Amino acid sequence: MRLRERQRTSPGEIIRTSALCLTLALTCLFASPSFGLEVPPLTGRIVDRAGLLPPDVASTLSAELEAHEAKTGNQVALLTLPSLEGEPLEDFSHRVATTWKLGWKGTDNGVLLLVVMRERKVRIEVGYGLEGVLTDARASRIIRNEIIPRFRAGAFPDGITAGLRAIIGTLEGTYTAPARPPAPQAPAASSALLTLALAVLVGTAIGLLLSTRRHSARGLLGSVFSFSIAQSTGLLLGVLAALATFGLILWLVTLPPSRHRRARSGFDFDWGPPVAFGGDAIGSAGDIGFSGGGGDFGGGGASGDW
């Protein structure tokens, strides 16, 4: 019943949908998102685009922030910019923080101190997980009492140093972060591999059990099932699972019908593809230099100007 209904409505739907797609595509083409200011790459804990800090101050601060991360797990970073080029401070600050992904995934323990010279604005952007410790009011006090007075006197390195130290001090007062969570790629890859292996196994079993005697029909049925199961992890894996199952079934069926052997060869084949993929996944999980851990920001923090 449902199937019939589906067939009846689909031609009209297809036309309407393709029209919609075309319109949307055209709209996207003309109204391409104009993100005014580009987020600078995260080259370290101190990204001094405005050139405010002498090298020795920068390296001292960087070491202090690194020590703080080693102690508590919190990722604190500084960005100075010559200008916002018309973008609202809060929007840009949030975009930088979420692009850099300061803090760790799940604990969201990152803080960004942003200083913009031409607009004379400062902002402390606080990650979700630290909002309870570095509250808006505390962040605002750091800006008002530590940073702004020094900036007004023209002592920018002093103001930044005092601000960062106050942030670290506030965070270390009460906060102890849990141990580093593992890198996010590893579990995703292994669950994909598990699905793939499962898909091939289940597909083969179904293909062998349910289909008619003809080999190709068995293979096709089995691969369709594997494809369906593995597709949830991606089209490529689905196709791979389908091909693997098809080959496996044809191979099993052409063997002399000895149950013992069939079971064993099934297991043999099973660990074939995972090894190739495992190598890939491990290779991509490198950790060089400073990078964000996947923390998220909800707009907490405070702003000020001098």
- Closer residue to other proteins in complex, CB, 9/176: 9
Task: Report the alpha-carbon angle 98-101-102, nearest 5.
Answer: 115
Stretch that binds other proteins, among 16-24, 55-63, 193-201, 277-285 (CB under 8 A): 16-24
Backbone angles phi, psi at 235, to 5 degrees: -65, -40
Element (H, E) at 301: strand 297-305
Decide: is 4 part of the binding site for other proteins (CB under 8 A): no
Three state DSSP letters for 88-112: CHHHHHHHHHHHHCCCECCCCCEEE
The CB-of-228 to other proteins minimum distance in angstroms stands at 4
Decide: is 141 part of the binding site for other proteins (CB under 8 A): yes
Q: Strand pairing of 46-48 and 110-116?
A: unpaired
The CB-of-90 to other proteins minimum distance in angstroms stands at 5
- Of 221, 241, 242, 253, the one binding other proteins (CB under 8 A) is 221
The residue to which tokens 């010279």 are assigned: 117
Q: Strand pairing of 297-305 and 110-116?
A: unpaired
Give residues with Cβ within 8 angstroms of 125, minimum separation 6: 93, 94, 96, 97, 111, 112, 113, 114, 297, 300, 301
The CB-of-3 to other proteins minimum distance in angstroms stands at 7
Decide: is 144 part of the binding site for other proteins (CB under 8 A): yes
Per-residue DSSP letter, 243:
H
The CB-of-231 to other proteins minimum distance in angstroms stands at 5
The CB-of-144 to other proteins minimum distance in angstroms stands at 7
- Closer residue to other proteins in complex, CB, 52/252: 252
- Of 64, 66, 119, 136, the one binding other proteins (CB under 8 A) is 136
Decide: is 300 part of the binding site for other proteins (CB under 8 A): yes
The CB-of-56 to other proteins minimum distance in angstroms stands at 33
Decide: is 6 part of the binding site for other proteins (CB under 8 A): yes
Decide: is 113 part of the binding site for other proteins (CB under 8 A): no
Amino acid letter, residue 277: F
How far is it, in rounded angstroms, from Cα 303 to Cα 306? 11
Per-residue DSSP letter, 39:
P
Residues of this chain that interact with other proteins (CB under 8 A) are 2-3, 5-6, 9-10, 13-14, 17, 20-21, 90, 94, 135-137, 139-141, 144, 206, 210-212, 217, 221, 224-225, 228, 231-232, 297-303
